[in-house]
Amino acid sequence: MKKRLSTPIREEEIKRLQVGDVVYLTGEIYTARDKAHQRIIEYESTDAEAEMPIPKGAVLYHCGPLMKKSNGNWEIIAAGPTTSSRMDATTPAIIEKLRIRAIIGKGGMGDGTRAALQRYGCVYFAMTGGAAVLAANHIKSVKAVYWEDLGMAEAVWHLIVEDFGPLVVSMDTSGKSLYEEITEKAQIRLNAMLHLS
């Protein structure tokens, strides 16, 4: 089912989403990769929430965008998703601390993250890899950039998006995972082809 959502996304809206739903997102999202995740964890341990650029209930985008500054403004060149599993170790704690409502990335995430999604009311959206220019076309502007000392790809970019997608709900708040379902179906077919079942 296709859905259009606007940020901030309410928890009840997130809980209505199911694996396989296709979503187009309008509003504000924040990029975060490996180094940003680590810094968030450091802030968590020092409880310096006042300095945290990502608000509670935000949407995180696993992305290291390519940007160009032109006439004092940032121009988005490419902004495709990065492999989410790289952030698996830190994601559950970040979901808990910031009550993240949605994560956009590619390739899915592990069981620890899936448990955090279920416990705190968050979903994982898969975006097609290799679609960096398409993604950039739906980013309307850069509202701010934080932690530039981490470098362009690792900084936190506060982005304004419109009809950003298609995003496929691949892990939902009930604990379902599209990746697990596909793996199970593939195994059944493989067993049938090899006459193992």
| Calculated CA dihedral for residues 119, 123, 129, 135, nearest 10 degrees | -140
Count of other CB atoms within 10 angstroms of residue 175:
14
Q: Can you state the angle between helices 111-120 and 91-98, rounded to 10 degrees?
A: 10
Do residues 136 and 177 make contact, with C-beta atoms less than 8 angstroms apart?
no
* 5-8: Cβ within 8 A, 24+ apart: 7/58, 7/59, 8/57, 8/58, 8/101
Pick from 57, 101, 108: nearest CA to 81: 108
* Residues annotated catalytic, as ranges: 37
Cα 8 to Cα 18, 58, 153, distances in angstroms: 19, 7, 24
Q: Can you state the angle between helices 34-46 and 91-98, rounded to 10 degrees?
A: 50
Residue 76, amino acid: I
Do residues 124 and 117 make contact, with C-beta atoms less than 8 angstroms apart?
yes
